[in-house]
Structure 1
Amino acid sequence: MKASERFYNLMKGKPIDRLPAIEWAPWWNLTVDRWRGEGLPASAQSVYDIQNYFGLDKCCQTGFGERSAATPLPPVYGHGIMKNEADYERLLPTLYPEIRLPDEYVAWLKKTHDDGDTLHFFTVDGFFWYPREMFGIEDHLYSFYDEGDLYKRMCSDYAAWLKKTFEYIAETFRFDFMSFAEDMSYNNGPMLSKETFDEFLAPFYKEVIPILKQMDVPVFIDSDGDITLAVDWYAGVGADGMFPLERQAGVDVSLYIEKQPHMAFLGHFDKMCMKFGEEAMRKEFERLLPSMQKGKVIPSCDHQTPPDVSLENYKIYVRLLKEYTAKVTKN
């Protein structure tokens, strides 16, 4: 069974021969640097190459950005590039560029997809992430109260750009799934209330997600932290799944597949146990296995593999990942 068929069937509740054995996130640069010193070949340069070296099902991400090269960068990480409507007007000429992928990249997408062992997904910013990048972390949280009309105007403009971008994507290449980058939650849950979500984010998700449904592209939300409340919020606007389900934030996928059984969940393998070797990693897979068998749960690291994981331990992780994904078949 090809990787795309396996993933599609899992999302649709159709038969699969096993679960995908994928890593959704690339590795830290420091991790790859360590592995180079432990035997990772210099020829394995790209994310695709490294995944291929380890024998994973390949899973590659394509990003589409609403800011252009002319959009200024923040002076310091976490700071914004605007504060008010006048600033937004000034930045508008640099925003919402026309998206066109290079022909050679589209050819690569199609070839690797047709080869049968590669999943491709695309990512755009979500309606929480995009304004945060514009306002900066602190001012963004105030903007719901201080610049509410502007927030909605920005999201409306962004939604219009997304529609055009999705139209282009639909005409160019059929991705296996997509993700909205959000990071709306951290260890203590969402950084806004359900009422604020319903007013400022939900209407725009309800505007653009139906287009993705028409494209038959599953919609995932990428949010770190404790998403226990947010799972229901995003299910309510039409999302098909979430990742990465960070274990250190106390999340528990077994609860999510009970309350949202139609949704898929990717990740949730505690990356912090990997440095301790096979016994610790097998115990973690055993924790996940019942949920993998019961719901649409694809095990993968719950974020990028940290540099305290040796090349040898990562090879053990991949071997166990293949072993446990092969335990789950659905008829």
Structure 2
Amino acid sequence: MASSGFHELFWASKDICTLFTDQPELRHAINSDLTAWHTRIIENIFSICTPDFMTFAEDMSYNHGPMLARELFDEFLRFYYAPVVPLLKERGVFTLVDSDCEIAIPTAWFADAGIEGLLLLERQAGVDIAALRREFQRLLPTAAKGGLLISCEHQTPPEVAYHDYQLYLSLFRQYAAEIGQMKKAKAAVRGARDAQSGIAVADDAA
């Protein structure tokens, strides 16, 4: 919305950051135009179909955290999410933000802006893989409801070793199997409950 690839067509990363303080009026003008454009595009898409989710490209973090303070986020980003996010949620579209590197700090900021999910999680930015695996275990019930997508960003980089990619696939299949078992167990419980309700209704009718 405010620091995505669009701005990188015109400014270097350093200049994008200094625009917040050096030319705030220009930043607001750009963001206002982008918001109007996003709104028109979303409405055009809705005239054809309703997507399951939408991702905002918001590369505003590096390895040590966000490139702007919370106050700047609220003024230059959250303000412009305000008219767009509700438009999506009215149609049941799940909202995500793609923000590279260390995103632990701005996670709460995006949540306050109405964003429902974040990607990606980068190991080279200090993401704890062991903690991440524990988090996946915690999120399995959510995934079983359809609220978690496990994937690579864009594509698998060519420097990823074949062994590492096999490990990724192994973990993917493991979690998918566990999620499948959870869904089957829930369906069985639901079926038993429905059957029991049917027996109760039949007894009452008799």
The aligned runs of 1:201-220 (5 Å cut-off) are 201-220=77-96
Structure 2 counterpart of 1:183: 59
Q: Deviations over 1:54-93 (max 9, x none)?
A: xxxxxxxxxxxxxxxxxxxxxxxxxxxxxxxxxxxxxxxx
- Deviation of the 1:141 alpha carbon: 1.0
Q: Deviations over 1:156-182 (max 9, x none)?
A: 111111111000011112222110011
Tell me, yes or no, if structure 1 residue 323 matches structure 2 residue 170: no
1:292 corresponds to which of 126, 130, 139: 139
Helix, strand or coil: the match of 1:227?
A: coil
8 Å Cα contact 1:183/1:223 also seen in 2: yes
Letter in 1 for 2:7: P
TM-score (norm 2): 0.74
User: Cα–Cα, structure 1 residues 247 and 315, in superposed 2: closer, same or farther, change >3 Å?
Assistant: closer
User: Cα–Cα, structure 1 residues 289 and 241, in superposed 2: closer, same or farther, change >3 Å?
Assistant: closer
- Deviation of the 1:154 alpha carbon: 1.0
Distance in structure 1 (CA, Å) of the matches to 2:136 and 2:84: 34
Structure 2 counterpart of 1:306: 157
Helix, strand or coil: the match of 1:228?
A: coil
Helix, strand or coil: the match of 2:114?
A: coil
Helix, strand or coil: the match of 1:306?
A: coil
1:224 corresponds to which of 77, 100, 108: 100
Letter in 2 for 1:293: L
The aligned runs of 1:26-37 (5 Å cut-off) are none
Distance in structure 1 (CA, Å) of the matches to 2:29 and 2:151: 37
User: Cα–Cα, structure 1 residues 289 and 152, in superposed 2: closer, same or farther, change >3 Å?
Assistant: closer
User: Cα–Cα, structure 1 residues 244 and 165, in superposed 2: closer, same or farther, change >3 Å?
Assistant: same
8 Å Cα contact 1:244/1:303 also seen in 2: no
8 Å Cα contact 1:247/1:302 also seen in 2: no
Structure 2 counterpart of 1:59: none
- Deviation of the 1:286 alpha carbon: 5.1
Structure 2 counterpart of 1:136: 12
- Greater RCO (Cα-Cα under 8 Å, separation 6 or more): 1
Letter in 2 for 1:161: W
8 Å Cα contact 2:140/2:175 also seen in 1: no
8 Å Cα contact 1:209/1:219 also seen in 2: yes
* Larger strand fraction of residues: 1
The aligned runs of 1:200-279 (5 Å cut-off) are 200-251=76-127
Structure 1 counterpart of 2:46: 170
Helix, strand or coil: the match of 1:140?
A: helix
Distance in structure 2 (CA, Å) of the matches to 1:172 and 1:302: 26
Letter in 1 for 2:106: A
Q: Deviations over 1:260-302 (max 9, x none)?
A: xxxxxxxxxx6xxxxxxxxxxxx89854542333555443346
8 Å Cα contact 1:186/1:225 also seen in 2: yes
User: Cα–Cα, structure 1 residues 324 and 135, in superposed 2: closer, same or farther, change >3 Å?
Assistant: same
8 Å Cα contact 1:285/1:324 also seen in 2: no
User: Cα–Cα, structure 1 residues 313 and 190, in superposed 2: closer, same or farther, change >3 Å?
Assistant: closer
Q: RMSD in angstroms over aligned alpha carbons?
A: 2.6
Distance in structure 2 (CA, Å) of the matches to 1:172 and 1:301: 28
Helix, strand or coil: the match of 2:84?
A: helix
* Larger helix fraction of residues: 2
TM-score (norm 1): 0.48
